[in-house]
A and B are shown apart, each in its own frame.
Chain A
Amino acid sequence: MIWNKAAECMSDNKRQELQLQRLKDAVNRAYSNVPYYKKRYTKNRFKPSDIKKLADLAKLPFSSKAELREGYPFNMFAVPMNEIVEVHTSSGTTGTPVVAGYTKNDIAIWSEVMARALTMAGTTKDDIVQNCYGYGLFTGGIGIHYGTQRIGATIVPISAGQTKRQLQVMIDFGTTIITCTPSYALYLAEAANEAGINMKKIKLRAGCFGAEMWTESIRNEIEKRLNLTALNIYGLTEIIGPGVAQECEAKDGLHISEDHFYPEIISPETLQPLADGEKGELVLTTLTREGMPMIRFRTKDITALHRGRCACGRTTVRMERITGRSDDMLKIRGVIVFPSQIEKALLEMKGIEPHYQIIVTRPQHLDEIEVKVEASKEIFSDEVRHLESVRDKIENHIERAIGLRVKVTLVEPKSLPRSEGKAVRVIDKRVL
């Protein structure tokens, strides 16, 4: 099913034409209405009329979270406050939150791209969508809400938390589509299992999981445990919220709604654009956003872009699942390590629970990684020798994956924190 065939299956030529026209307009609006852009572009001797083709965008400076923070709260808005109908903020876990402002039209765009996303997961107006993303300033909850309403499906705005109630509602209401973070999906599965709920008897069919990094192994776990199709959703507050990109049932990358969000991939080191298929940092430009245009926003998310018609019929560019962040990538003794690599290695081993924690320390001027893994029933033995060999096996397996020796510590089941929102997988205790 495709929500908007005209937009999602557009020919490349037609799309590029539309993108260029919208890009000119977006840059012009940013330059004319947001002092930040005007100042930076003037400094770079750049005028909006210099945009003659899409590739000209690469001449413009990047914007980043730091600048958005400086503009706190409303300095990045491009319209008068009385045209802003809604505001959201990023979680603010890494400092001052970023405020995003939406005009009435921005909300319509958001609803549209979210409707496309939910339709990719098979949602129709006959569905019941249980939305376990948090409602409030966070964009997750409201974004899914708008999309569901746009489709005309039934939204259950249950928000995050209260796991027992979530399960009860899922059974009683006959939920068919679920939306939450992948770590919460696993948590729900665990709780359902404990409550003796047979997932095969539940109507759940598909889920849109996002707002944090996850892997194919986690997807397999979720699909097995919750008995549904688990699809990846991507978005960020700075750009609009969830719905920037979404995986279709072909599971071959996330379709970016590129008539609204223009993607580029750059090398996080040289900051130069990279070709399709090459892995680098995703940079996004909003083409239609009125309230807060974002030109060349560095997402810090690491991915690669792939073009060509997808098996589902859509022609929009697809991004790979996020495999890391250029800022939470760990540099351990000079080696770049993404937590996702460790997760992947862990989950390749039998009997390992998908709950783990990575702790980075620097005891004697040398980085050390400790990986805490829960000792499940499957790997526990009453012999020290056997448990130590399990631990060594995990250590060796991770070493092969990341090229570094780590220390694995077996901890008791359920002793690692479970999250109802974004999971904290990495604790960096290094004082750099």
Chain B
Amino acid sequence: MKVKQISVFLENRKGRLQEALETIAAAKLSIRALSIADTADFGILRLILPDPDKAKKALQKNNFTVRENDVIVVEVPDKPGGLAGVLKVLNDANINVEYLYAFVEKSGKKALVVLRTEKIEPAVKALRKADIEVMPSEKVYSL
């Protein structure tokens, strides 16, 4: 149920984000979801794409520092309170969310959200127990 996310270290330098994205474009990979965390000095680009290993290799070859992390992709009812409900499940299970971001696309009527929690396995278990759809990685990569 774990989905691989690629994180890239970006210096706050003009054109660096574009260079990272161009590297991914050259590897012919289409980004499914992304987020950027930024500070005054640096940023972290997080990506979900069809072939994480290929993306990682391409980025490393171009001297980017890359890391692979496990995240959870959940289907969230696209209505008011949908995401809050998901987070309540995790909160009740005492699981901290490090960060989250959303997919642009929907899966049917549901919105897709990437979740990074402290511990992945218990989070998946808790979500499943509450009948929240956790999307398998194959399905995420083929979106």
Contact = CB atoms under 8 A, between A and B. Distances in A.
A373 to B, nearest CB: 11
What is the interface of chain B mostly: helix, strand, loop, or mixed? Answer: strand
Interface string B25-54: 000000000000111011010100000000
A375 B116 CA distance: 22
Name the residue among B5, B11, B67 with the largest chain A CB count within 10 angstroms.
Answer: B11
Interface in A330-377: 375-377
B63 A414 contact: yes
Contacts of B39: 384, 387-388
Given A375-B9, A382-B7, A382-B46, A412 B41 contact: no
B44 A387 contact: yes
B69 A412 contact: no
A340 to B, nearest CB: 25
Nearest to B5: A382
Nearest to A410: B42
A415 B11 contact: yes
A432 B24 CA distance: 46
Nearest to A408: B41
Nearest to A381: B67
A381 B8 CA distance: 9
Nearest to A377: B65
Contacts of B67: 377, 380-382
Contacts of B69: 382
A172 interface: no
B44 A412 contact: no
B65 A412 contact: yes
B131 interface: no
A267 interface: no
Contacts of B10: 412
A412 B98 CA distance: 24
Contacts of B7: 380-382
A409 B42 CA distance: 8
A308 interface: no
Nearest to A412: B11
Interface in B99-137: 99, 116
Contacts of B9: 375, 380, 387, 410, 412
A31 to B, nearest CB: 58
Name the residue among B42, B66, B67 with the largest chain A CB count within 10 angstroms.
Answer: B42
Interface string A399-429: 0000000000111111100000000000000
Given A381-B67, A382-B5, A411 B46 contact: no
Given A382-B7, A383-B98, A410 B41 contact: yes
Given A388-B39, A410-B9, A411-B11, A382 B63 contact: no
A384 B37 contact: yes
B91 to A, nearest CB: 19
Nearest to B16: A412
A413 B42 contact: no
Contact of A384 (B5, B44, B63): B44
Contacts of A413: 63-65
Contacts of A376: 65
Given A412-B9, A413-B63, A415-B11, A382 B44 contact: yes
Contacts of B41: 409-410
A359 to B, nearest CB: 13
B27 to A, nearest CB: 19
Contacts of B66: 377, 380
Nearest to A382: B7
A412 B42 CA distance: 9
Contacts of B11: 410-412, 415
Contacts of B64: 412-413
A410 B10 CA distance: 9
Nearest to B45: A382
A380 B60 CA distance: 13
A391 to B, nearest CB: 8
A226 B116 CA distance: 40
B65 A383 contact: no
Contacts of A409: 41-42
A412 B63 CA distance: 8
B58 to A, nearest CB: 15
A76 B60 CA distance: 54
Contacts of B46: 382
Contacts of A381: 7, 67
Contact of B42 (A383, A387, A414): A387
9 contacts: A377-B65, A380-B65, A382-B5, A382-B44, A384-B37, A387-B39, A409-B42, A411-B11, A412-B65
Interface of A: 375-377, 380-384, 387-388, 409-415
Listed from nearest, the 6 A-B pairs whose CB atoms lie closest are: A382-B7, A380-B65, A414-B63, A384-B37, A412-B11, A409-B41
Given A377-B66, A384-B39, 15 more contacts: A380-B65, A380-B66, A380-B67, A381-B7, A382-B5, A382-B7, A383-B98, A384-B37, A387-B9, A410-B11, A411-B42, A412-B11, A413-B64, A413-B65, A415-B63
